[in-house]
Structure 1
Amino acid sequence: MLSEKSKPLIEATAPVIVERLPEIAPKFYNSMFQAHPELINGVFSRANQKSGAQPLTLAGSVIAFAQHLLTHSDSYPDEMLSRVAHKHTSLGIVEEQYPIVHDHLLGAIADDLGDALTPEIAEAWDEVYWLMAEALLKLERGLYASQANDVMFAPYRLAERTETGGDTVVLTFEPADDTPQTPAVAGQYVSLQTRMSDGVDQPRQFTLIPGPEGARRIAVKKDMDGEVSPVLHALEVGAELPISNPYGDVVLTDSEAPLVFLSAGIGVTPMVAFLDKLAADGSTREVRAIRVDPTDADAPLLAEQTEAMSKLANGTLERWTTKSEEGEHTGRPDFSALGVSPDSHVYLCGRLEFMQEARSALVDAGVPGQNIRYEIFGPDMWMLHDDAARTQKA
């Protein structure tokens, strides 16, 4: 709970810091990496640093947390904290790294605001940061303790690679040692540590898709401008990589509500995992999967999704193709006209623009925002904006 002393100071300065975030965030990261260059090796994505998305997201999450405290003094933004905690644990973030972020983030704010940042204001933001840090650390301790092992990453060996649609390769990894394995829940992801040509390890998250017992199976779409996906596409059978325990909180709800899985391209991966789980459980829930691809040749995991759907008593698969007439529908769907019932639980995965468009249309069509869940692999400013909007409307 934010102290009464700090509330007016945070309320007065939050708008200024939000406006200055594009200048504060780069200062924060540049300062931190100069002092701790080891953090770029295996923890932070260089691609996200170049785009400027990661600095804005981390700094912005502190602001979003503060904004929530101003209007909800007796609660925390649980959804945002859970999403961040799962991402942190998948990267192996530890408690000792929180003071580092604190010092350089608050230092960047002080450097940017100059004399306007009085000791009293600095103390108020210090309180906000540590309230958020303690909330995250509590969640992260619980997540680490729930694992079947006490390691951040375990070695896995590539056992099989197969091609699927959309310039995507399916990689199946098997354990390379006897580290106890944590079972994954459908919809969860793992982080892979990939060694770059300059010797720096770069982490990326990938949804786990159904595979042999004990294996970690993922689908990787090749990004020609990316740093990691071309390396993963070039892996040969027998190659070893460190892989994290499974994490992620966008999983199936414990409910009998109708399900709608809406995906585009490689965003189908969690949907395939969900369908496989439902089929294995003999679920009788109403399940509607809607996928959008350019063509059949660009449709990753289409055969796996179709097979899993065929095992469900009340499942339907609707296909939209934007560059051919191979699907039941041609072009992009009008999300507001899909007839999704308000009591449905909707899951989205695809490019950010696709999910934003779909979510906005569904909300306008009467589906409650809290019934729509999504996963973004990368800095998630959308969640921060969405959480801030909910706070302002409360």
Structure 2
Amino acid sequence: MISQPALSVIRETLPVVGASIGEITPIFYSRMFAARPDLERDLFNRGNQAQGEQQKALAGAIAAYATLLVSDDAPNIDAMMSRISNKHASLGITEDQYAIVYEHLFAAIAEVLGDAATSDVVDAWTAVYWDMADSLIRAEKGLYARFQVDPGDVWRELVVVARTQQSPTTVSLELAREDGAALPEAQPGQYLSVQVALPDGAQQIRQYSLTRTSNRTSWAVTIKAEPGRAESGVPAGEVSNFIHDNVFEGDTLRCSLPYGDLVVEEADEPLLLVSAGIGCTPIIGALNHLVQAESTRPVTVLHADQSMASHAHRQEMAELVNQLPGAQMHYWYEQLGARPATDTVHEGFINLAEVGVDLRAQVYLCGPPPFMNAVRRGLGELDVPAGNVHFEVFGPDTWSAAAEPVSA
């Protein structure tokens, strides 16, 4: 419990710390990686670090949590905390690692704030940090307990039993235990962390959504190769490209237990499933579950992609939608080529106005963050309650304020 005097200090200093946190976080990561190079090499996503995305996510999470403590009208951050704790559990984060972060983060705060970092200010922000950390630690212990494993003991070796090329840049892998035994129970929409040994010796980790979970003998994930965009400062995908180019039937992958909270809840309300690019993978998982459960819920599926050729799982999505009574699907492609547009196949960027959105719908959303911002803004303009919108972020949860149509 944070004391009232400490909360007063937080309220007074939040604007200053908030304005400085973009300077604080790069120094924090630089200090921590200098002291613990193994964390940069084997735990943190080097691609996100290169782009500064992880720094933005940390800054946003701390600012949101502090704002919640001192403001009566702060937005609810339960969903953000759930996403963070699930991501941490999939990485095998343990309680002792929070002390490492604290040490280097607060050294960076002292360096940036200088004389303004009085003992009262440091003590108050320390209380905020540990209040947030303790909430995450409790949640993560609960996530580990679901599988009856010790904190951090999430890694298992799985063998690739099938590989299918879904599009020129995406490949699906079917994973199973080498002894054929049953896999842990996974929920549709969850993901695995996958750790691979790269040529430079790093053991980098990425997350991949499960596209099929109903069969306890195998799981399926889809990996998209990312070529990188030098003009935008976006590096090529280290892990995804390595898996796409080098992992085949008979190979083994080090995979985590399944985590993630983009899970379709059992209910009667209509469903609106919205995705772009490789964001279709948790939606495929949800559709497979709905078909398996013989669901009769009204379902509308919207997907955006660069072209039909680049649309992974296009045929599978259509077949699953056709198996659900009353379900409908709309596609948006940036390039239709020689194909004419139809009532359900559109050219350009996704446009919610072209689809009748039921305001009661529970919305599940996945894709590049700018795409999700644009969709979320469109849903808000249609008066869909924010509490009805659930999403998964591939990468750090920065949720940039800009909400413009972007390439899938």
Q: Given the two structures, how large is their TM-score scaled by the length of structure 1? A: 0.92
- Tell me, yes or no, if the aligned pair for 1:336 and 1:362 is still in contact at 8 Å: no
**Paired residues for 1:2-13 under 5 Å:** 2-13=2-13
Match of 2:406 in 1: none
Q: For residues 199-247 of structure 1, what are the alpha-carbon distances to aligned partners after superposition, in whole Å with 9 as ceiling and x for unaligned?
A: 1110100100126532231111110122111101121222212100000
Residue 227 of structure 2 corresponds to residue 215 of structure 1? no
SS in 2 for 1:206: strand
| CA RMSD between the two structures | 2.1
Q: CA deviation at 1:27?
A: 0.6
Bigger shift: residues 21-30 or 176-185? 176-185
> CA distance change for structure 1 residues 148 and 183 in 2, over 3 Å: closer, same or farther?
farther
- Tell me, yes or no, if the aligned pair for 2:365 and 2:389 is still in contact at 8 Å: yes
Query: Is there any run of 5+ residues in structure 1 with no aligned partner, and where?
Result: 387-394
Query: Is there any run of 5+ residues in structure 2 with no aligned partner, and where?
Result: 228-235, 403-408
SS in 1 for 2:47: helix
SS in 2 for 1:382: coil
Residue 315 of structure 2 corresponds to residue 303 of structure 1? yes
Match of 1:233 in 2: 244
Q: CA deviation at 1:145?
A: 0.5
Match of 2:95 in 1: 95
Q: For residues 20-67 of structure 1, what are the alpha-carbon distances to aligned partners after superposition, in whole Å with 9 as ceiling and x for unaligned?
A: 122111110011111112212432111111111112312431221111
Q: Which amino acid aligns with 2:174?
A: T
Q: Given the two structures, how large is their TM-score scaled by the length of structure 2? A: 0.89
CA separation in 2, counterparts of 1:297 and 1:148?
Answer: 43
Q: Which amino acid aligns with 1:251?
A: V
Identity %: 37
Q: Which amino acid aligns with 2:298?
A: E
Residue 149 of structure 2 corresponds to residue 132 of structure 1? no
Q: Which amino acid aligns with 1:40?
A: E
- Tell me, yes or no, if the aligned pair for 2:180 and 2:217 is still in contact at 8 Å: no
Q: For residues 154-176 of structure 1, what are the alpha-carbon distances to aligned partners after superposition, in whole Å with 9 as ceiling and x for unaligned?
A: 00111211111252111112213
**Paired residues for 1:60-75 under 5 Å:** 60-72=60-72
- Tell me, yes or no, if the aligned pair for 2:176 and 2:183 is still in contact at 8 Å: no
Q: Which amino acid aligns with 1:228?
A: V
Structure having greater relative contact order (Cα 8 Å, sep ≥ 6): 1
Instruction: Give 2:373's match in structure 1, choosing from 326, 341, 356.
Output: 356
- Tell me, yes or no, if the aligned pair for 1:85 and 1:140 is still in contact at 8 Å: yes
Instruction: Give 2:255's match in structure 1, choosing from 236, 240, 243.
Output: 243
- Tell me, yes or no, if the aligned pair for 2:360 and 2:384 is still in contact at 8 Å: yes
CA separation in 1, counterparts of 2:122 and 2:279?
Answer: 42
CA separation in 2, counterparts of 1:65 and 1:333?
Answer: 32
Match of 2:231 in 1: none
- Tell me, yes or no, if the aligned pair for 1:158 and 1:240 is still in contact at 8 Å: yes
Q: For residues 109-167 of structure 1, what are the alpha-carbon distances to aligned partners after superposition, in whole Å with 9 as ceiling and x for unaligned?
A: 01110111100110000100111111111100000000154532000111211111252
CA separation in 1, counterparts of 2:74 and 2:382?
Answer: 32
Q: CA deviation at 1:180?
A: 6.7
- Tell me, yes or no, if the aligned pair for 2:182 and 2:217 is still in contact at 8 Å: no
Q: Which amino acid aligns with 2:107?
A: G
Bigger shift: residues 73-82 or 361-370? 73-82
Instruction: Give 1:321's match in structure 2, choosing from 327, 330, 333.
Output: 333
Match of 1:392 in 2: none
- Tell me, yes or no, if the aligned pair for 2:273 and 2:365 is still in contact at 8 Å: yes
Residue 102 of structure 2 corresponds to residue 123 of structure 1? no
Q: CA deviation at 1:71?
A: 1.8
> CA distance change for structure 1 residues 127 and 217 in 2, over 3 Å: closer, same or farther?
same
CA separation in 1, counterparts of 2:87 and 2:175?
Answer: 21
CA separation in 2, counterparts of 1:28 and 1:227?
Answer: 24
